[in-house]
Amino acid sequence: MGAPATINGKEIFDLLRDDLLALEQEFGADTVSRVQAITEIGEYLRHGGGKRIRPALLLLASKLFGYEGRGSVRLGAVVEIIHTATLVHDDIIDEAKTRRGRPAANTQWGNSKCVLAGDWLYMQAFKIAVQERNFRILDTLIELTQQMVEGELLQMETLGKAITLEQYFDLIYRKTACLFSVCMRLGAILGGATPAQEEALANYGHDLGMAFQIVDDTLDLTASEDVLGKPVASDLREGKATMAVIHALERCTSAERSKIETILGDRAFIGLTHADILGILDRYGSLEAANHRALKYAESAAKLICTFPDSEIKRALLWAPEFVVAREK
């Protein structure tokens, strides 16, 4: 009998259990500073309930080529530290009050300390990455952080505006898909992949990350506050137009468009309730359109893995796109 096509989340955790435990220890040790505030903020963020999806992808990519060295755990911690640093800065920029159902770090320690803690985390990530003594890895991480910072600046410039789908896709590439792609690329580099294999995995990460963010943005509109761990429709309240909203704006009446643009511009629900917004999105099939686009990206990601020899690792990478589009938070 042939092996099953995919694998489930528990099996993936079991597959990566030792590496993920080592990664948590590495993350904990790497975020300790002689300055107490940095250590406290680092510990608070580490226990914030993240799924560790990004380092898990890096681990899987390296294991796809039989890599067994310490570098995958070290770089897994690096990408999670970079991700954590971006969340700290995002919450300050967005003036967020909650993150994953807890008070955001900036509400506990203030913006000034959190900005500096985020900067320290970035530098610490590069300090660890240098231990690999691999310029390609450093180049990849430098380009990643530049893309993410540029993305944050571009998003700030478009806040309150009805952006195009092209602009939206560029933003979510920089915000999310770029890091997913880099995680797969780093794993491939460690594993000694061929250039073609490395590109296939980087593209897989890109498509998976695009699907992940589209689903994330859709859930922001449809899930409950208890599930999200933050206020519903936070993106709209922060002046961010996401895919379902952009889809509706391109099809709705001028009166509806004016009301949605007012919410984006004022960053508050004025003249329209959250239920009204959902009604407009339903009317034009906008939520379905966003979910369909996410599904297409997920399918594209899965196809990029099909050429690799069958293994538990391959099945785990085939499961990830299914998980991304089916998740509820």
What pLDDT score was predicted for residue 47? 84
CA pair distance 211, 326, nearest whole angstrom: 11
User: In the block, which residue shows the tokens 């911690």?
Assistant: 77
β-sheet bridge partners, residue 103: 98
Phi, psi of 102 (to 5 degrees): -125, 160
C-alpha dihedral (179, 125, 55, 204), degrees to nearest 10: 30
Q: Quote the distance between the C-alpha of residue 235 and its chain's center.
A: 15
Q: Would you tell me how many other CB atoms lie within 10 Å of the CB of residue 3?
A: 11
What pLDDT score was predicted for residue 229? 67
Each of the 329 residues of the chain gets a pLDDT tens digit; together they read: 344 456 777 788 888 999 999 999 999 999 999 999 999 998 998 888 678 999 999 999 999 999 999 999 999 999 999 999 998 898 888 888 888 778 889 998 999 999 999 999 999 999 999 999 999 999 999 999 999 999 999 999 999 999 999 999 999 999 999 999 999 999 999 999 999 999 999 999 999 999 999 999 999 999 877 776 667 888 999 999 999 999 999 999 999 999 999 999 999 888 889 999 999 999 999 999 999 999 999 999 999 999 999 999 999 999 999 999 998 76
What pLDDT score was predicted for residue 1? 33
What pLDDT score was predicted for residue 4? 46
- pTM of the complete model: 0.92
CA pair distance 123, 285, nearest whole angstrom: 44
Structural domains of the chain ordered from first start: 9-326 (1.10.600.10)
Q: Would you tell me how many other CB atoms lie within 10 Å of the CB of residue 326?
A: 10
Q: Would you tell me how many other CB atoms lie within 10 Å of the CB of residue 44?
A: 17
